[in-house]
Structure 1
Amino acid sequence: MQHFTLFRSQLKPSRFLGLIVLLLASTGEIEAVDPSPQELPNSSVDPRYIEAEFVSTFDRTMQPLRYALPPKSQDAERPVLVFLHSWSSDYHLHKPEWLRAALSRGWIFVEPNFRGPNDNPEACGSAAARADVLDCVEFAIKHLNVDTNRIYLAGASGGGHMTMLMAGRHPERFTAASAWVGISDLKKWYEHHSPNGIPQNYAKKVAKCCGGAPGVSKLVDQQYYQRSPIHWITNAGDLPLDIAAGVHDGQSGSVPFQHSVQLYNAIAKSHAAPLVSDAELQQLWDQGKLTKPQAQDTAEDPTYRRDIKLRRKTNNARLTIFEGGHEGLAEAACAWLEVQRRPTHLSSVPE
């Protein structure tokens, strides 16, 4: 049985409360507390956020999340957007455009911490981090009156990495997922950030998460494999998956857009569908556009408000490379998620 506590405060002042909750939770005697909207002490944080904690199903530790409810509370079940924070931040990094895009649609907005910034072994797609995201979904279902036919997942950068990973490892938990400028292969990303073989900022952080540089040992290489979405994404099956990246990312940003393309190609290959070719990848990298684009590559998409440089579809996956850099477009993501529904026969979330 899972236990949760809700409170309207920042986590650091609440550690004593968290310890009490953990003790009570172990006895099975705690219920969710109705949060009071007047008690948020930090005015720099959007007052719509409500802080919460839950007992991790992975290691029984107290883990934080926060959520926001749409302006008009209704008795009817509502969709939920589970939004995953970026690589070097935690769940407190405020992304107002994502919050606005969700709440304006009447969705619940939930942000798990999944072990914080990706600079330690418990973060970066570990078993503990993955469990935290699943626990967050369970929290929303039990306490926030969620429509289980519309459980959406999204994130950008490190959040894009985790969205891809969750889509491949736990597709049954989500209705659809939208991954922006995500890292699909940690080994390749480590190498990208190790010019002349010398690891820099992000490479050092990957090494901290995985236990060392690629090739140091079989155990370390296994960590890179386990945490890289490219090795799991074909398990996503029929889960609708939106993959997007700015064409300049990797040159003016930290994650080359090739990570998104290669993830898509893995899905396309599993369905014997056409791949984005190496020549097309090179054209996008060298000149920011295709020499001979297909009709779908140049189609306008009003939700993006950007030029589309490449767009491909296979099965339930869609790839978009757009005019931009290392960024996620919240409105475009939510517009796509909004039309996705879980088939009726899959409407219940497995235990």
Structure 2
Amino acid sequence: MLTKNLAVGLLAAAMMLLSVHAAAQVPDYPQGVREARYRSDGDGSMQPTLIWTPKSEEPVPLLVALHTWSSDYRQSGGEAQYAKWCQQAGWAFIHPNFRGINKTPEAMGSDLAVADIRSAVDFAKSETSIDTNRIYCIGVSGGGHTSMLMAAREPELWAGVSAWCGISDIAAWHRQCRGTSFDRYATMIESVLGGAPDASPDLRDAAWHRSPLNWIAKADRLPPLDLNHGINDGRAGSVPFTHSMLAFNAAVPQSAALDADAIEALYQTREVSDGLQQINAATSDPLYGSHPPIFRRTVGTTRLTVFDGGHEIVHEAALHWLAAQAKGRPVNWSPGRLISFKVEPENEQSGK
């Protein structure tokens, strides 16, 4: 009897500790955001995430927010702004790890990372009722890389994907970073692949497998995809804005693609040439605030915006655009301001 009572007592204590841990406040996140673990269908492993779900009798939208290149699911700063938006808007929020910092073979757009994000959506559905017509993906920098990747690899999941300052070509970014102040990113890519992408055909193929350009170009369909990049990135930031312009070219018909020489000229001069100006649809956009669009082009369900800024995200523009999208409806490229939502400049995730 004593042994049985002891076992029962230990079990109760363990359950209490588990409950306290589950309810513990996540540093720098709004109250109620918690850590959890779910099973990935990639390899059956238990993967960590942050999650928040509202109390609602109706299905709610879901925001899948993706951390940056050198961080993991516990990243705060600009990431916490996604959770704040979800609490204000009544959305569910999930912030998966997808194998963490991009320095191991399991990370950096691997098949396992893709499976982790897909399984994170399933986990959110098990936690609350999700409106499957309003599941969104968002990320900046490394999160922009993976957002573009997920748009092409799992297009049926998303009502909209908002990708900011993302890397679209791993091998190209490796060359752009090697020997510069951003050399650490080249080293991380080599740690993932087992060597430099240009060292062998196998390594080049491995880098291409993890590159959004590869998957976007061969996708049968894409969800509404909003590509954004600051015109100073690549100088005041680690990812040249040409990555988003080339992603746009991969997503649209060849007849609508931007001229490669014009892209390079824009990068070198940061001035819109006469040729690009003829197709430039950039106008004043209040949602971009102090980062107005400089060059904008929309073709079908894909839009490219090169804005006045660097390696950063304009949360208000990204989140209001996503909020205006739903499966079964035409893409809304001119959303209004749905809620009052302000993000301080230090939380725009510059340089991560």
TM-score after normalising by structure 1: 0.82
1:238 positional shift: 4.1
Query: 2:336 — aligned with what?
Result: none
Query: 2:5 — aligned with what?
Result: none
1:102 positional shift: 3.0
Q: Is the 8 A contact 2:65 2:95 kept in 1?
A: yes
1:179 positional shift: 0.5
Query: 2:205 — aligned with what?
Result: 222
Query: 2:346 — aligned with what?
Result: none
Query: 2:191 — aligned with what?
Result: 208
From 63, 69, 73, the equivalent of 1:87 is 69
1:154 positional shift: 0.7
Partner Cα separation in structure 2 for residue 172 and residue 38 of structure 1: 32
Tell me if 1:126 matches 2:115: no
Residue-pair matches, total: 309
Tell me if 1:326 matches 2:311: yes
Letter in 1 for 2:109: G
> Greater share of helix residues, 1 or 2?
2
Letter in 1 for 2:158: F
Query: 2:145 — aligned with what?
Result: 161
Q: Which runs of 5+ in 1 are unaligned?
A: 1-16, 22-33, 345-351
Tell me if 1:304 matches 2:304: no
Q: Is the 8 A contact 2:294 2:305 kept in 1?
A: yes
1:180 positional shift: 0.5
1:282 positional shift: 3.7
Deviations 1:41-83, CA, capped at 9 Å, x for gaps? 565443321111012212121111111234xx21100000000
Root-mean-square deviation (CA, aligned residues, Å) is: 2.5
Partner Cα separation in structure 1 for residue 248 and residue 314 of structure 2: 19
Query: 2:324 — aligned with what?
Result: 339
SS of the aligned residue for 1:90 comes to coil
- Assess, with a 3 A threshold, how the Cα gap between structure 1 residues 66 and 150 changes in structure 2: closer, same or farther: same
1:81-120 alignment, distance < 5 Å? 81-94=63-76, 95-120=79-104
1:192 positional shift: 0.3
1:222 positional shift: 2.1
Query: 1:190 — aligned with what?
Result: 174
Letter in 2 for 1:210: L
Q: Is the 8 A contact 2:71 2:101 kept in 1?
A: yes
Partner Cα separation in structure 1 for residue 241 and residue 193 of structure 2: 23
1:99 positional shift: 2.2
- Assess, with a 3 A threshold, how the Cα gap between structure 1 residues 90 and 54 changes in structure 2: closer, same or farther: same
Partner Cα separation in structure 2 for residue 43 and residue 204 of structure 1: 30
Letter in 2 for 1:315: G
TM-score after normalising by structure 2: 0.81
Query: 1:347 — aligned with what?
Result: none
Q: Which runs of 5+ in 2 are unaligned?
A: 1-10, 330-352
Deviations 1:286-339, CA, capped at 9 Å, x for gaps? 343314324753311111112211100111000000000000111111111112
Partner Cα separation in structure 1 for residue 81 and residue 105 of structure 2: 30
Partner Cα separation in structure 2 for residue 245 and residue 211 of structure 1: 29
